[in-house]
C-alpha cells in the first residue's frame, strides 16, 4: 500500500492503467516465433500455449537463449516473465537489448539474479552507451517474481531510456548529450534473453552456489511486444517525431511515475554505481543530472 498513498494517486493510476490497456489492446499479439528465434540450445526452450508462451530450461547440461529476428532503433520492448521459484541462487535470467557490435557496443540490460528460498531476487540494470558500460544499479523486487508473471519493459526514445517493472520505473537514463554524456542513438539493437548459471558472481557476490539437486530450473515468458523502428526498414522511421514512443507523454516521467521511481530508489535500491566511491571517486557526469 505504500505505493498508493492517496486516493488521488489511486485514481491517477486507474487512469494510467486504462490508458495502458487501451494502447496495448491495439498492439499485435506476438507469438514467440513471429519476432524471435532460439539462439542457444533448442532443446532447452519449449513453446507452450500454441507458441504464445515459452518455457526456458536450465540444467547441468545447458542454459538457453533467444533473440529477436530484427534489430530496432528506438521504441518499446516488453514481455511478461515468471522467474525460477524457490531456490534459484546462482541462476541469472537476462532480458536485454544489444547492438551486437563488439567495438562500440550499446546495450540496455535487465538481469534477474536468483536467490535462496525466501530471499529477494535482485534486478540489476546496466547501460552501455557507445562502448562504455559499468553503470550498474541494483534493486530488490517488492514482490515474488516467481509467483506470477510481471511485465518488464524497456522504453528507448530520443529523450530517455526507462526500465519499468510493471508500471513502476526503476531506472531512468536521460539523454544528456548536451552535457557530454554518451547516449545510444546511432545503432539499432536486437532484443535478447538468456537463462544461465553464473554462480561465480550472481548471488551474494558468488558466495551462494547453484543447488543442482533442484534442477531443472524453469522460467516462463509470454506477451512479447516489440514496437519500434526495425532496421533495415523504412528510411527515416527512427528520426520521425510522430512515433508514439517519442510523444510528449513519453519524453519524461509523469508525476505518478516520478513518485513511484522515487519510492523505488528510497525503499528498494541496494546498489548504485553513482554513489560507489571506491569505483568512482568522482561521480560520472550522468549521475549529477538528478533524477
The residue among 170 and 202 lying less far from ligand NAG, judged by its C-beta, is: 202
The residue among 125 and 175 lying less far from ligand NAG, judged by its C-beta, is: 125
Residue in the shown chain whose Cβ atom is closest to ligand NAG: 119
Shortest Cβ distance from residue 208 to ligand NAG (Å)? 7
CA-wise closest residue to 71 among 194, 222, 221, 226:
226
C-alpha cell at 115: 536467490
Shortest Cβ distance from residue 243 to ligand NAG (Å)? 36
The answer to whether residue 136 is catalytic is no
Shortest Cβ distance from residue 270 to ligand NAG (Å)? 6
The residue among 125 and 243 lying less far from ligand NAG, judged by its C-beta, is: 125
Site for ligand NAG, rule CB under 6 A: 113, 115, 119-120, 122, 202-204, 211, 213-214, 270
Shortest Cβ distance from residue 123 to ligand NAG (Å)? 9
Strands (E), the chain: 36-40, 45-48, 53-58, 64-82, 91-98, 107-113, 122-128, 137-140, 150-156, 160-165, 168-174, 189-197, 217-231, 269-272
The answer to whether residue 257 is catalytic is no
The residue among 41 and 203 lying less far from ligand NAG, judged by its C-beta, is: 203
Q: What is the DSSP-derived secondary structure letter of residue 67?
A: E
Q: Which residue has the cell 528510497?
A: 266
CA distance to 81, 178, 196, per residue, from 43 (Å): 20, 48, 14
Residue 198 half-sphere exposure toward CB, CA atoms < 13 A:
18
Positions annotated as catalytic residues are: 107, 111
Amino acid at each position: 500500500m505504500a505505493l498508493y498513498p492517496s486516493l488521488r494517486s489511486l485514481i491517477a493510476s486507474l487512469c494510467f492503467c486504462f490508458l495502458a490497456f487501451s494502447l496495448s489492446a491495439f498492439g499485435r499479439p506476438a507469438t514467440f516465433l513471429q519476432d524471435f528465434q532460439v539462439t542457444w540450445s533448442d532443446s532447452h526452450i519449449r513453446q507452450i500455449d500454441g507458441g504464445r508462451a515459452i518455457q526456458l530450461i536450465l540444467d547441468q547440461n545447458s542454459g538457453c537463449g533467444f533473440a529477436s529476428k530484427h534489430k530496432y532503433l528506438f521504441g518499446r520492448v516488453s514481455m511478461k516473465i515468471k522467474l525460477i521459484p524457490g531456490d534459484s541462487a546462482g541462476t541469472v535470467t537476462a532480458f536485454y537489448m544489444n547492438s551486437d557490435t563488439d567495438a562500440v557496443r550499446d546495450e540496455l540490460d535487465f538481469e534477474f539474479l536468483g536467490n535462496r528460498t525466501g530471499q529477494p531476487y535482485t534486478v540489476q540494470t546496466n547501460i552501455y552507451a557507445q562502448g562504455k558500460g559499468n553503470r550498474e544499479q541494483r534493486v530488490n523486487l517488492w514482490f515474488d517474481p516467481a509467483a506470477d508473471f510481471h511485465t518488464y519493459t524497456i522504453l528507448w526514445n530520443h529523450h530517455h531510456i526507462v526500465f519499468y517493472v510493471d508500471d513502476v520505473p526503476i531506472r531512468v537514463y536521460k539523454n544528456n548529450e548536451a552535457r557530454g554524456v554518451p547516449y545510444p542513438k546511432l545503432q539499432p539493437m536486437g532484443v535478447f534473453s538468456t537463462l544461465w548459471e553464473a554462480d561465480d558472481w550472481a548471488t551474494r557476490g558468488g558466495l551462494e552456489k547453484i543447488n543442482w539437486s533442484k534442477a531443472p530450473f524453469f522460467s516462463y515468458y509470454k506477451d512479447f511486444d516489440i514496437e519500434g523502428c526495425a532496421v533495415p526498414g523504412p528510411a527515416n522511421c527512427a528520426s520521425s517525431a510522430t512515433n508514439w514512443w517519442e510523444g510528449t507523454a513519453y519524453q519524461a516521467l509523469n508525476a505518478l511515475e516520478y513518485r513511484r521511481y522515487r519510492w523505488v530508489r528510497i525503499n528498494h535500491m541496494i546498489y548504485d554505481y553513482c554513489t560507489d566511491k571506491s569505483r568512482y571517486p568522482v561521480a560520472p557526469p550522468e549521475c549529477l543530472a538528478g533524477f
